[in-house]
Amino acid sequence: MNCPISKRCGSCQYIHMDYPQQLIKKQDYCQKLFPQLNVHSVVGMENPYEYRNKVIVAFNQKYEYGLYEESSHKIVPMQKCLLHDEETHKVLAKIQSLFRKYRMSIYDEHKNRGFLKHVLIRRAIETNQTLVVLVATDGMFKGSKNFCQELVKACPSVQSVVLNVNKRQTSVVLSSIEKVLYGKGFIVDKLCALSFKISAQSFYQINHSQCEKLYAKVAELLNGQKDQVVLDTYCGIGTIGMSIAKNVKKVIGVELNKDAYKDALNNAKMNDIRNISFYNEDATIFMQKMAQSHMHIDSVIMDPPRAGSTKEFVEAIGILKPQSVVYVSCDPSTQARDLKWFQQIGYVTKDVYLYDMFPHTEHVETIVLLSHKSPESTINVKEEFGEGEGKVPLDLIAERAKKYQPKPKITYKMI
């Protein structure tokens, strides 16, 4: 399909290619990254359009809105983006007409003056709910009541409007300061037959239908058993952990972002999942604490951001020695680096599974299952116990056993 602004916008690097060609390109890329591994065909979308459930746009002084031109802060005005659904466009168009009507002051970054910096839209596709986040330089939005009333009247899918106050001159869009202008400050979506609260700052997979396929593969590779304790690291709002909780004994999630962590706690309650707990901490520090406490962990799921994980995280896995690690990645190049660290601690993998979460862009999501290399050979030692030559006296066995008794375990106090 043709996009009139694709050249200037630059977000969809592959839009000029047929979709099957895009998938081949992604697979070739991964095959080069993982030359020793069996790279499976990419699981693509039937209809690779309108799949994104989140967009952040900026406005210019003419009230045109769009994404920034590649590596610049020039807005490329858009009417319709092929990656977003009708409702997103309808809400954006209404916001634009209200900004015009109320003569909203638009932020000018050169002069560092003005009120409105960005608009973030989040859609819950299954429930048809919309969250609108207005990012502004000030917490005082005069006329916000009328603005919200008019917006909700024209677009009933809008369940909440949040004002995010970001005074800093930075390319980071959101600050931690928020004021709910309308609704509850979050929307609820359904994913894998569970409900999830999504607030402005929390991570939520942007491609709903592909996400369900991705999580189904994670569950298949994890092969959950009723006695299994699983760590869901970099867990976001707890979606992966909750989707596999019913198959295992216990899930422990860890997430750095406070809002996502709070959403995760609420989500567990909302879905009445009781065998899951969450910790708001850096995943590496958390894993190191777990390793120090010699916690027993059967499996680890990891889904780090693009930067990948850390060597220290992997080293902690080397101490915890789970049977399996399911590694989900949104940047296979950092995953390839991390797999080398896994190799050093004796974890191996054979297959890479590819999911196209981001059609028309150069990005691809990958999953690998790592397991501990089994010893090449075993040594059988035959000993006879009792009195007599060549036999091991029984009273010595008790003493020997004492030497090998495990030291008392310090349990990680938060768990």
Contacts with ligand SAH by CB under 6 A lie at: 203, 205, 234-236, 239-240, 254-257, 260, 282-283, 303-305
Q: Side-chain half-sphere of 276: how many Cα atoms within 13 Å? A: 29
Least distance (Å) from ligand SAH to the CB of residue 122?
13
- CB 271, min distance to ligand SAH, A: 15
Give the nearest distance from C-beta 209 to ligand SAH in angstroms.
Answer: 14
Catalytic residue among 12, 81, 148, 330: 330
For ligand SAH, the closer of residues 138 and 281 by Cβ is 281
What does the buried/exposed string (b/e) look like for 317-334 if buried means 16 or more CB atoms within 10 Å of the residue's CB?
beebebebbbbbbbbbeb
Q: Do 254 and 278 form a contact (C-beta atoms < 8 A)?
A: yes
Asked whether the beta carbons of 273 and 242 are under 8 A apart, the reply is yes
- Alpha-carbon span 166 to 115, nearest angstrom: 10
Q: Please report how close the Cβ of residue 405 comes to ligand SAH at its closest, in angstroms.
A: 35
For residue 343, give every residue at least 6 positions away whose Cβ sits within 8 Å of its Cβ, in sequence order, or none: none
The C-alpha R_g of the chain, in whole angstroms, comes to 26
Give the helix ranges, DSSP H, for 102-187. Answer: 144-154
Active site residue 330: yes
* Whole-angstrom distance, CA of residue 282 vs CA of residue 255: 7
Question: Which of 85/281 has CB closer to ligand SAH?
Answer: 281
Residue bearing tokens 């590694």: 327
Which region holds residue 234: left if phi is over 0, alpha if psi is between -120 and 50, else beta? left
Nearest approach, Cβ of residue 382 and ligand SAH (Å): 49
Using CB positions, name the residue nearest to ligand SAH.
236
Distances (CA, A) of 68 to 7, 11, 65, 71, 96: 12, 9, 9, 8, 17
**Residues that are catalytic:** 330
